[in-house]
Amino acid sequence: METVRYDRARAVLYARRWAFARNPAYYAFDGLGGDCTNFVSQCLFAGSGTMNFTPVFGWFYRTANDRTASWTGVEFFYRFLLANEGAGPFAEEVGLRELEIGDAVQFGRETGDFYHTCLVSGFRSGLPLLAAHSADAFDKPLLRYSFERVRFLHIRGVRRPDR
């Protein structure tokens, strides 16, 4: 498997295009618990070009009924990115200062229950600006969100199957 660079600019361009709309190639999960992680997965796919088709534990979307939980679920997305040793993007949890555009931010409650995923679309005064679905946004400042806990996921790269 070869490791390639994650195209951060391409992920953010995708976010800019679809932050206030829904790409018809994907089901919109707004009425089924929210579309936030689905949207960020789409952005990561735009920047990585690689899905992981491992049943159950991979990260892929074919249809609304043929996808992994990690494509749309906040906690499953987190676990996939941090544990992925196969195809697709992989990440590490970092501090605020280590974030780059195209990385992911997740918000949680004091209890440790994380409920929302956003994409870093830019920076202002050293703080991330975020793109999101469910409460649609692009370049919304981190501090305009209400949350008790936050975690930052830095995309380290993408693994692609040997061709």
pLDDT recorded at residue 163:
66
Instruction: Report residue 162's pLDDT band, with 50, 70 and 90 as the boundaries.
Output: confident
pLDDT recorded at residue 77:
98
**What are the structural domains, with CATH classification, of the chain?**
2-160 (3.90.1720)
Instruction: Report residue 43's pLDDT band, with 50, 70 and 90 as the boundaries.
Output: very high
| DSSP structure string for 4-21 | E---HHHHHHHHHHHTTS
Average pLDDT over residues 36-45: 98
The residue whose two tokens read 């008790």 is 148
Average pLDDT over residues 37-47: 98
Q: Is residue 12 predicted with pLDDT exceeding 70?
A: yes
3-state SS, residue 130: strand
Q: Is residue 26 predicted with pLDDT exceeding 70?
A: yes
pLDDT recorded at residue 31:
84
Mean pLDDT in the chain? 96
Diameter of the chain by CA atoms? 45
pLDDT recorded at residue 91:
98
pTM, rounded to two decimals: 0.97
pLDDT recorded at residue 161:
87
pLDDT tens per residue, range 61-98: 999 999 999 999 999 999 999 999 999 999 999 999 99
Average pLDDT over residues 144-152: 97
